[in-house]
């Protein structure tokens, strides 16, 4: 085992895959000598050279389109978009081209494309650089979406994404880049569509995504001191979504809380809640509760942003709402 930060784990996963497969290329803005705007691609240019680690124009649509062209020719491509908000500039290639090409051609072509894009919520980057848009992306059949919450998962999932013959959006949390974790020395991958139960409990099922997973675990520890035993589930990928693990937990606890950074309306929380209601309604002691950002633009002001982004106290309050309802 060795210790890496979340960002270093992604870098190591990419590096190992590029060594394993000489056809893999990395494309993006400042991903070369500069090493990426947040340093995640640092050192890749020095090892693999400018032919495989390509700096591109400031044009997200072009970056992803170039990457799709490489992918369908048998060259797995990793496209970096500097903020998740910038996927909006590349929505046609991400949602209208890459996920559909295999279908168009009756399975005769694969699209091994990984679009890496960080979520900056909570860091003061403002409304055009802080959005969590994963719910937009899961609406598109054929597109996979990963949201790792720790260094171990980040490395295992990025390797799975690169090896996948289908397009993947890999949503990283900038707020987690500096967090550290133990990484096995041997090669490993993490399958898509397999959630992890981060903490077992019997009273409330708490599903948390990305940046909110560590906060959910802190909330669970605080709630344990109040006599509430919380089971924390990290889906790890939201497309495919491991709803079976969530439903099995709800059948045990009877209560469901979903926590994510994205705006509440139309978010992942709504989808998870509805699937649970459809398939485990009789097991619920009350309606699912969503912890999410309000439907307002994310401010750059630290004080205003902190009022928007869900925190430990918000999660604790949501889990206690079941007890209050019974009272």
Predicted confidence at residue 323, as pLDDT, reads 72
Nearest in space to 192 (alpha carbons), one of 259, 145, 234 = 145
Locate the domains of the chain by residue range: 2-183, 196-326
Q: What one-character DSSP code corresponds to residue 90?
A: G
Domain 2-183 fold: Rossmann fold (3.40.50)
> For residue 327, is pLDDT > 90?
no
pLDDT digits (tens, 9 = 90+) for 209-218: 999 999 999 9
**Is 129 considered catalytic here?**
yes
Please report, rounded to a whole number, the percentage of residues in the chain having pLDDT higher than 90.
94
Q: One of 2, 129, 139, 260 is an active-site residue; which one?
A: 129
Handedness of CA 51, 86, 110, 196 (dihedral sign): positive
* From 85-99, 183-197, 298-312, the region with the lowest mean pLDDT: 298-312
Query: pLDDT tens digit string along 11-47?
Result: 999 999 999 999 999 999 999 999 999 999 999 999 9
Distance CA 35, CA 23 (A): 20
DSSP single-letter state for residue 89: G
Residue 278 pLDDT:
97
Which of the 8 DSSP states describes residue 166?
A: S
Global confidence as pTM: 0.95
User: What does pLDDT average to over the chain?
Assistant: 96
Q: Residue 57's pLDDT is what? A: 93
How much is the pLDDT for 325?
57
Evaluate whether 132 touches 119 at the Cβ level (below 8 Å): yes
2-183 and 196-326 share one fold: yes
Fold of 196-326: Rossmann fold (3.40.50)
In the prediction, which pLDDT does 326 show? 52
Q: How far apart are CA 309 and CA 324, in angstroms?
A: 24
- Closest C-alpha to 124, from 286, 326, 305: 305
User: Hey, how many other C-beta atoms are within 10 angstroms of the C-beta on 286?
Assistant: 12
């Amino acid at each position: 085992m060795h210790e890496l930060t979340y960002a270093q784990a992604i870098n190591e996963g990419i590096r190992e895959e590029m060594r394993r497969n000489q056809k893999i290329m990395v494309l993006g803005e400042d991903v070369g000598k500069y090493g990426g705007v947040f340093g995640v691609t640092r050192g890749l240019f020095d090892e693999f050279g400018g032919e495989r680690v390509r700096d591109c124009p400031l044009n997200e649509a072009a970056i992803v389109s170039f990457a799709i062209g490489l992918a369908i020719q048998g060259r797995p491509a990793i496209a970096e978009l500097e903020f998740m908000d910038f996927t909006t500039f590349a929505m046609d290639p991400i949602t209208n081209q890459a996920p559909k090409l295999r279908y168009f051609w009756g399975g005769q072509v694969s699209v091994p494309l990984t679009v890496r894009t960080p979520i900056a919520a909570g860091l003061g980057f403002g409304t055009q650089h802080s959005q969590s848009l994963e719910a937009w992306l899961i609406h598109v059949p054929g597109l996979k979406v990963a949201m790792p919450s720790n260094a171990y998962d980040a490395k295992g999932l990025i390797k799975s994404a690169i090896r996948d013959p289908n397009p993947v959006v890999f949503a990283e949390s900038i707020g987690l880049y500096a967090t550290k974790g133990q990484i096995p020395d041997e090669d490993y991958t993490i399958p898509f569509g397999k959630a992890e139960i981060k903490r077992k409990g019997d009273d409330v099922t708490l599903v948390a995504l990305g940046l909110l997973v560590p906060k959910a675990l802190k909330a669970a520890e605080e709630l344990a001191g109040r006599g509430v035993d919380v089971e924390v589930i990290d889906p790890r990928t939201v497309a495919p979504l491991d709803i079976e693990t969530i439903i099995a937990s709800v059948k045990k606890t009877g209560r469901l809380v979903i926590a994510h950074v994205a705006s509440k309306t139309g978010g992942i929380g709504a989808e998870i809640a509805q699937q649970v209601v459809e398939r485990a309604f009789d097991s619920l002691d009350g309606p699912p509760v969503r912890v999410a950002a309000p439907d307002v633009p994310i401010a750059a002001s630290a004080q205003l942003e902190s009022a928007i982004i869900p925190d430990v106290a918000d999660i604790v309050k949501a889990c206690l709402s079941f007890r209050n309802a019974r009272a």
